[in-house]
Amino acid sequence: MRAVLLAGIAALGLAPAIAEAQDRPDQKAFFSLYKELVETNTVVGVGSCTRAAAQITARLKAAGYADSDITQFSVPEHPEDGGVVAILKGSDANAKPMLLLAHIDVVEAKRADWERDPFKMVEENGYFYGRGTLDDKAQAAIWTDTLIRFRKEGYKPKRTVKLALTCGEETNGAFNGAEWLAANKRDLIDAEFALEEGGGGDSDGKGHVIGQSVQVGEKTFANFRLETRNAGGHSSVPVRDNAIYQLARALTRIDEYEFPVEMTDTTKRFFSEAGAARGDEMGKAMAALAADPADKAAEAIVNKDRFLHGNIRTTCVATLLDGGHAPNALPQRAGANINCRIFPGHPIEEIKAELEKVIGDPGVTVTQLPPKRPARPAPPLDPKVIGPMERLVALYWPGLKVIPSMANGYTDATFLGAVGIPTYGIPGIWGDPDGNGVHGLNERVEVKAVYVGRDFMYDLVKAYADKP
Ligand SMILES: [Zn+2]
Say yes or no to pLDDT of 314 above 50: yes
In this prediction, residues 2-18 reach a mean pLDDT of 40
The pLDDT, as a whole number, for residue 8 is 39
- CA of 126 relative to ligand 1 center, distance in Å: 22
- CA of 170 relative to ligand 1 center, distance in Å: 7
Work out whether strand 200-203 and strand 430-431 pair parallel, antiparallel, or are unpaired: parallel
Q: How remote is the C-alpha of 266 from its chain's centroid?
A: 16
Say yes or no to pLDDT of 11 above 50: no
Of residues 135, 164, 140, the one with CA closest to residue 419: 164
Say yes or no to pLDDT of 443 above 90: yes
Q: How many other CB atoms are there within 10 angstroms of residue 19's CB atom?
A: 7
**6-15, 211-220, 360-369: segment of lowest average pLDDT:** 6-15
pTM: 0.91
- CA of 147 relative to ligand 1 center, distance in Å: 21
Q: How many other CB atoms are there within 10 angstroms of residue 235's CB atom?
A: 13
- CA of 412 relative to ligand 1 center, distance in Å: 9
Say yes or no to pLDDT of 3 above 90: no
Q: How many other CB atoms are there within 10 angstroms of residue 373's CB atom?
A: 18
Work out whether strand 333-342 and strand 161-166 pair parallel, antiparallel, or are unpaired: unpaired
Mean residue pLDDT across the chain: 94
Which residues have a Cβ under 8 Å from the Cβ of 90 and sit 6 or more positions away? Answer: 97, 156, 157, 158, 159, 160, 161, 465, 468
C-alpha–C-alpha distance, residues 245 and 259, integer Å:
24
Strand order in the sheet with 127-129: 122-124, 127-129, 444-446
User: Could you write out the DSSP letters of every residue in 86-119?
Assistant: EEE--S-TTSPPEEEEEE--B----TTTSSS-TT
pLDDT tens, residue by residue, 193-235:
999 999 999 999 888 999 999 999 999 999 999 999 999 999 9
Q: How many other CB atoms are there within 10 angstroms of residue 383's CB atom?
A: 9
- CA of 87 relative to ligand 1 center, distance in Å: 22
- CA of 214 relative to ligand 1 center, distance in Å: 15
pLDDT tens, residue by residue, 111-163:
999 999 999 999 999 999 999 999 999 999 999 999 999 999 999 999 999 99
pLDDT tens, residue by residue, 321-356:
999 999 999 999 999 999 999 999 999 999 999 999
pLDDT tens, residue by residue, 70-108:
999 999 999 999 999 999 999 999 999 999 999 999 999
Identify the band that residue 20 occupies on the pLDDT scale cut at 50, 70 and 90. Answer: low
Of residues 439, 431, 433, the one with CA closest to residue 113: 439
Of residues 1, 84, 5, 65, the one with CA closest to residue 310: 5
The pLDDT, as a whole number, for residue 16 is 37
Say yes or no to pLDDT of 18 above 50: no
- Report every protein residue that has its C-beta within 5 angstroms of ion ligand 1: 1, 135-136, 197
**For the range 68-74, what are the long-range contacts, defined as Cβ-Cβ under 8 Å and sequence gap of 24 or more?**
71/185, 71/188, 73/177, 73/180, 73/181, 73/185, 74/50
C-alpha–C-alpha distance, residues 424 and 386, integer Å:
9
**Three-class DSSP labels, 176-242:** CHHHHHHHHCCCCCCCCEEEECCCEEEECCCCCEEEEEEEEEECEEEEEEEEEECCCEECCCCCCCC
- CA of 1 relative to ligand 1 center, distance in Å: 4
pLDDT tens, residue by residue, 228-284:
999 999 999 999 999 999 999 999 999 999 999 999 999 999 999 999 989 899 999
Identify the band that residue 21 occupies on the pLDDT scale cut at 50, 70 and 90. Answer: low
The pLDDT, as a whole number, for residue 467 is 87
The pLDDT, as a whole number, for residue 178 is 98
- CA of 351 relative to ligand 1 center, distance in Å: 27
C-alpha–C-alpha distance, residues 194 and 423, integer Å:
5
- Asked if residue 366 lies in contact with residue 356, where contact means CB atoms within 8 angstroms, the answer is yes
Q: Which tops the pLDDT comparison, 79 or 173? A: 79
- CA of 152 relative to ligand 1 center, distance in Å: 29
- Asked if residue 105 lies in contact with residue 167, where contact means CB atoms within 8 angstroms, the answer is yes
C-alpha–C-alpha distance, residues 47 and 30, integer Å:
23
- CA of 189 relative to ligand 1 center, distance in Å: 19
- CA of 39 relative to ligand 1 center, distance in Å: 17
The pLDDT, as a whole number, for residue 13 is 38
Task: Enumerate the H helices of 360-426 as residue ranges.
Answer: 383-396, 413-418
